[in-house]
Amino acid sequence: MYLTIPRVVTVVCLAFAPSAFAHNSYVADIPNGSDFACQTCHLSEGNYAQFNSFGTQFRTQMRMTTPPTTIGAWEALWDLDADADGQSNGEELGDPCGIFGAGSTASRTTDVSNPGVADSMSADPFGPDADADEWPDACDNCPPNANPLQEDSDGNGIGDACKLPPPEGCTCSGTASGASASSALLVLAALGLLAAGRRR
Ligand SMILES: [Ca+2]
Ligand SMILES: [Ca+2]
Ligand SMILES: [Ca+2]
Ligand SMILES: [Ca+2]
């Protein structure tokens, strides 16, 4: 009976290194990692010494750092297509824009496919693109208006295509235009005359 506990504890992903550590935590380092869990990287459940094409990419990327770490791995891999099925790793795992951060939620949590299995593909890997400018809504800086170049002249993350045009006559530089300035001077002059009249 007392042998039960150690056996249960060993039910883990041994991933990435046949020699052996539990790497269940790696699933948090890729978007929707828990969907396929160990089989995101391994050929089959229980076969932790062999990797599929995505697992090989992930492992290689990890080993480019000392000590090996998953930090930065997804950033390097999201735009690749490990299993050559025409969909990027990011498109398959619900992060077509490569904006996922470890431990966060992917921009898409449905229609996830395995990036290491060519037969597994997402039905709509790109995700919604309301304005059809080929930037998914998840990372379009102006989802309702087509702006394929994503212009953002002031760098605030909101595309120029979503900024309201300036009011007529306004330079929007913090100073009034000629017409507005004239109006302001007239108001000040009127206030000055009013004050002078009261002093008399
Ligand atoms: Ca793929
Ligand atoms: Ca696939
Ligand atoms: Ca778009
Ligand atoms: Ca847009």
Count up the domains in the chain and report the number.
Answer: 2
Compute the distance from residue 143 Cα to the ligand 1 centre, in Å.
Answer: 26
Alpha carbon 52 to its chain's center: 24
Residues 68 and 15 reside in one and the same domain: yes
Residues 110 and 54 reside in one and the same domain: yes
Q: Does 25 reside within a domain? A: yes
Domain end point (choices 95, 123, 151): 123
Compute the distance from residue 139 Cα to the ligand 3 centre, in Å.
Answer: 8
pLDDT attached to residue 173: 58
Compute the distance from residue 30 Cα to the ligand 4 centre, in Å.
Answer: 26
Residues 72 and 135 reside in one and the same domain: no
Residues 68 and 146 reside in one and the same domain: no
Please, are residues 54 and 61 in contact by the beta-carbon 8 Å criterion?
no
Residues 47 and 109 reside in one and the same domain: yes
Domain that holds residue 101: 9-123
Residues 20 and 91 reside in one and the same domain: yes
Find, among 75, 82, 72, 78, the residue nearest to 94 by Cα: 78
| Ligand number nearest to the C-alpha of 141 | 4
Q: Mean pLDDT throughout 82-111? A: 96
Compute the distance from residue 114 Cα to the ligand 1 centre, in Å.
Answer: 8
Q: Is the pLDDT of residue 192 over 90?
A: no
Looking at residue 40, the DSSP 8-state letter turns out to be: G
Q: Is the pLDDT of residue 129 over 90?
A: yes
| Ligand number nearest to the C-alpha of 145 | 4
| Ligand number nearest to the C-alpha of 121 | 2
Residues 16 and 90 reside in one and the same domain: yes
| Ligand number nearest to the C-alpha of 147 | 4
The phi and psi torsions of 22 (rounded to 5 degrees) equal: -80, 125
Compute the distance from residue 85 Cα to the ligand 3 centre, in Å.
Answer: 24
Structure pTM? 0.70
